[in-house]
Amino acid sequence: MTSHDNKAADLEERVSYVQSNTAKDVDGYAEAKSPKDLEEGALVEGGALDLFSREAFALFMQYGAIGIIYGMIPSLNYPIFNIYLNLEGYQTSSYGVLTVIGWSFKVIFGLLSDCVPIYGYRRKSWMLIGWTITMICLSVMAFSPFGEPFCNREKTKFCSTPLEKVPKSELQYFNLTAPDNGTLFILLSMFIAFGYVLAASASDAMVVEYAQREPVAIRGRIQTGI
């Protein structure tokens, strides 16, 4: 009886061993798991990006441009909209919000970059769209006149005086319609925010792809460089 039980157990172990070696990958795990035959633990093929290559310099320049616009557009609030056009406080506060509202949509822009390729490109196409929007809006702002300032500081000393206390003889140096000229520039600044954040979202995704190509020993180098 004991011998019969041992033979049955031995047969069961052999059948289990054969099944474990011949079973098919039903769930597709073998294809989805991280490859082990790439260079020094890289997650995807392609090799690490040379930080002195044209691709790397293009990526660095793009992030440099994003930083310039990110700092430049909000800084127009005080000298242009507050002093030159004399917008109300709630209007300048709204401008400050609109110039960064694009970052609230970064998740959506990232999904578009990941899931909606254009002409076969997931990153470059969305970068071009973002920078095209930004450059068009910046060009319109650059070549559109602001008009006369709210107060001509070269001809009157009452610019910092409340309007109701300004002498009537000095009112000729005030342009009461100046605040109306700020609407166009506020809207353009908002679209600029959407444009460069769209480009930034695609750039961030590209940086992740480059990082996955790096070996374990230097993984994250491209992210540190940026």
pLDDT tens for 8-22 read 555 555 545 445 555
pLDDT tens for each residue of 76-89? 999 999 989 989 88
Q: Is residue 212 situated within a structural domain? A: yes
Report which of residues 173 and 217 the model is more confident about: 173
Write the CA distances from 198 to 39, 46, 97, 129, integer angstroms.
33, 26, 17, 8
* DSSP letter, residue 80: I
Judge whether 114 and 144 are in contact, CB under 8 Å: no
Domain span holding position 139: 70-225
User: Which of 27-41, 52-66, 95-109, 200-214 shows the lowest per-residue confidence on average (mean pLDDT)?
Assistant: 27-41
Identify which of 216, 210, 204, 205 has the alpha carbon closest to the alpha carbon of residue 34.
Answer: 216
Please name the helix (run of DSSP H) or strand (run of DSSP E) that holds residue 181, with its range, or none.
none
Q: Is residue 88 situated within a structural domain? A: yes
Q: Is residue 27 situated within a structural domain? A: no
Q: How confident is the model at residue 122 (pLDDT cuts 50, 70, 90)?
A: confident
Domain count for the chain: 1
Biggest alpha carbon–alpha carbon distance for the chain: 122
Token output for 121? 């490109």
Q: Is residue 155 situated within a structural domain? A: yes
Q: Is residue 171 situated within a structural domain? A: yes
Q: Is residue 202 situated within a structural domain? A: yes
Give the predicted TM-score (pTM) of the model.
Answer: 0.76
Q: Is residue 53 situated within a structural domain? A: no
Q: Is residue 121 situated within a structural domain? A: yes
Amino acid at position 24, single letter: K
Amino acid at position 36, single letter: K
